Structure 1
Amino acid sequence: MIKPLNEYVVLSFLKEETKTDSGIILTTESKDKPSIGIVKAIGPKATDLKVDDKVIYQTYSGTKTKVDGEEYLIIKAEHILAIIE
């Protein structure tokens, strides 16, 4: 697992639904990804967050990386806009 430093936070991407309740399959080609993620790890200076928080972050923020086949976003805590409750 990734251990962030200082005020950095590691997020995993929220999986999008590709099928509606009525069975309609949605295409994802021209759709923008939502800026919602799940906190997986926090640095020692990111005090307002905890692991497993569902958050909204600024689009085009952070650095994407892949570890053990899983894609993550490493982002500064100040670029996280809200916690979804």
Structure 2
Amino acid sequence: MGLKPLHDRVIVQRKAEEEKTAGGIYIPDSAKEKPQGGIIVAAGPECKTVAEGDIILFAKYAGSEFSMDGDELIIMREDDILGVFA
């Protein structure tokens, strides 16, 4: 990764969107919601509670989305993270 977050910021790669429901019904693109979970790709030097590789849950409108090397990423503050999966 060529981008290093500063202070208490983290870079997150959102997990993949669900293509179909548990019952087997396919979800059209217009009805899909963006997942609120992802994996931390990079963490700033002041991050105390999370590290690279952690799987997290974050607020719905957290951070700023950007594209890098064909990947859709989000940069957000550590405060926007709601929880870390153990």
Structure 1: tracts of 5 or more residues without a match: none
Superposition pairs of residues 1-85 of structure 1, within 5 angstroms: 1=1, 2-19=3-20, 24-85=25-86
Scaled by the length of structure 2, the TM-score of the pair is 0.86
What letter is aligned with 1:46? C
Provide the rounded CA distance (Å) in 2 between the counterparts of 1:19 and 1:31. Answer: 10
| Deviations, residues 39-71 of structure 1 (Å, cap 9, x unaligned) | 000000111111111101111111111111111
* More off after superposition, 28-37 vs 17-26: 17-26
**In percent, how many aligned pairs have the same letter?**
33
Alignment partner of 2:65: what SS?
strand
1:7–1:15 distance in 2 versus 1, CA, 3 Å: same
Cα RMSD (Å):
1.7
* More off after superposition, 32-41 vs 16-25: 16-25
Provide the rounded CA distance (Å) in 2 between the counterparts of 1:75 and 1:19. Answer: 28
What letter is aligned with 1:6? H
Structure 2: tracts of 5 or more residues without a match: none
The alignment of Structure 1 onto Structure 2 pairs a total of residues equal to 85
